[in-house]
Structure formats: structure tokens, C-alpha cells
Amino acid sequence: MADPSTSPPLTRASVAAAHTLITPCIHRTPVLTNTTLSHLASTPLSVSPSNPHPSHPTIRFHFKCENLQRIGAFKARGAFHALERLRASPTFNPSSGVCTHSSGNHAQALALAAKTAGIPAHIVMPSISSPAKLAATKGYGARIIPSGSTSSEREAVVAEVIKETGATLIPPYDHPDIILGQGTAGLELQEQVAPTKLDAIIAPCGGGGLLSGTALSCEGTGIKVFGAEPEFEGGDDARRAYYSETGERIASVKTLTIADGLRTPVGAIPWSIIYERRLVAGMYAVTEDQIKAALRLVYERMKIVVEPSAVVGLAVALFNEEFRSMVEKEGGEKGWEIGVIFTGGNVSLEALGKLFAE
């Protein structure tokens, strides 16, 4: 793995420098608004025995469409940044290539970055990865090695690949160069919404690279950053750790949430930014049904292709009463301008059919 000690400091200025480095390699994805979704988010939820007095926030959305990024996900940002910095190292051996483990989006991103640089890529992917993501990764010329679905199983196979090939590991999220690259999405979002001032950004959290990078991009701006996770089978590991008595990071997660890009535990370096530096203001979780409802709304009202992981932040703003109550209290009558990062759009028609078959 590239030595983290040689990486730039984890600051907003370093995110800006990362953006300059990777600008020739990435798309500046659009920011969209949607009156219908903003109206729905600003309408109280239905009264129920568990929620007799639903909150009434005022929310205006700004959607950063990383589903339109190269390889269809924000992961291209971190992969290109990490690889460009690695190629500048005098100790890097290009002929040995690079390797990583990923359920799909980082796999595709590193495969594309390596192909662009003309070096081999060895990608460890869980056997339960979506066929569409497997096919796309292979299509970029990478060698795919199957593994189990947990992070420990993936990492064990990665160790074998490194021993066999001498490849350099570029991890999917737990590295400063990855985090700084991912943070460029948040930086662009702020620039594109200006002169309107964002009050908050919501980013999904799996390994935490995007969330921590977004938090760095907002440091010192007054923009609050929140994390969103699926609660299914303990997929909300960062939320549970964030509000625990000890704040100790949960290092192992095993969930088969439909938000397949968020099945990994938050990494140690992202956690140091999210929790220890307190650059993330809160963590929230949503159910599988709420994720599906948000996904349907995006398809029907925005007419764009996103994957389940991409809408977890939107689901929080639409359905999480704790988050909505906080926005009502802090935003008052004026309300909040909220940036939502749509992280990717790598989903097959077959998978969508199964999701909405009921």
C-alpha cells in the first residue's frame, strides 16, 4: 500500500489540490434540483401511534449526480487521485500493477484508472457482487479474483494476491489519498450551488471515504455534514459507534442490505475524521423499504438511473423523523438548502426488476 505518511494533510486545502490533480481524469458532474422531492421532504409524515406529532421541516434539495461520473460512481475520483500520486512515487513498480478489494464501484474505478495508465489491475470482488459490476470491471481489463463478502475475507485474498504478484494495494476507502479524492465531489457541489449557500450535505457511509472526504471539503465553511446508512442487519455500524458510550469503531459488519455499496465497516482513517475530529455532525439510518421508496421517487420524478446505495441520504431526509425534526428546529421558517450526493448508478435492469417486483 502507498505509505499514508507520504500523503498530504487531511484538510480542505488538500481536497482542493486533489481536485486540481484529477480534473483531467474525471467529469464535473451536474447538480440537479427537483421541486417535487423538495416539496415531499417539506411535508410532514403521516401521523402514527409512534409518531403522533410529525415534524414539518422546510427542505430544498441540490443533488450532486455522481451516477453520471466516469464508471458511473464517485469512486473514480479517489481511484484516479490515489493512482496518480502512487505513479509519482520513485518506489512504485508499474509492471507489478495495483490491487484492491471492492463490491463493485471502486473495482471499476481502479480498473479504469489502471487501464488509462497502462498498468495491470488485480481486483478482489465478493462472489455476491452484482453481475453488472463484475462485467464492467472485467470490461476495463482487470483480473478479477473472487472472495467472500466480509471485509476480513476480502483482505485475506488481497494478501495472497500481493504475495503472488507484488502489486501495490490501493484500498477502497481507508487511505488519505482515496479520502482526498472522494472529497472533490463535495467541493464541486459547494461551487456549483453558489451563490446559494448550502446549510448541509448528506452523504452515504459504507467505508466512509466519501463521507470523510466531504467533511474535509466543508471544514471551516459552516456547512454541516451528515452520514446516512442502511440499518438492515447492522449495516448502520458508523451510526451505532458514533452514538455509543465509547465511540469505538465497529470493525466488522455482515449485512446483505440492498444498498450493496454500503456493506463494509467504516475505516479507521475515515473514522478519525468523522468521529474523532467531529467533522460529521450526525449519523442517521433508514430501512430497506425507505431506501426502495426513495429509489422509486428518483426514477419516477427525476428520470435518472441511480443504485440503491445512492439514495440512502435522500431517504434520511424524506423519512428519518429524528433528522427531519433537527432540520425543522435549526432551519426555522427559512429552512435548509441540503446537498445530497447520488453516489452511483451501477445497477442492472434485472436487479431493479427484482426490487420492484412486489
Instruction: Report the catalytic residues.
Output: 75, 103
Residue with cell 473514522: 271
CA atoms within 13 A on the CB side of 241: 26
Residue with cell 417539506: 42
- Residue 202, strand partner residues: 226, 340
State how far the alpha carbon of 242 is from the alpha carbons of 56, 144, 159, 238, in Å: 26, 35, 30, 6
Contacts of 58 (CB under 8 A, 6+ apart): 42, 327, 328, 331, 333, 334, 335, 336
Beta-strand ranges (E) seen in 34-74 are: 59-65
* C-alpha cell read off for 15: 481536497
Q: Annotate 263-325 with DSSP letters as a single string.
A: -SPPPHHHHIIIIIS--S-EEEEE-HHHHHHHHHHIIIII-----GGGGHHHHHHHH-HHHHH
DSSP-assigned letter for residue 48: B
* C-alpha cell read off for 106: 471502486
Evaluate whether 108 touches 129 at the Cβ level (below 8 Å).
no
Helix axes 176-193, 75-87, angle to 10 degrees: 130
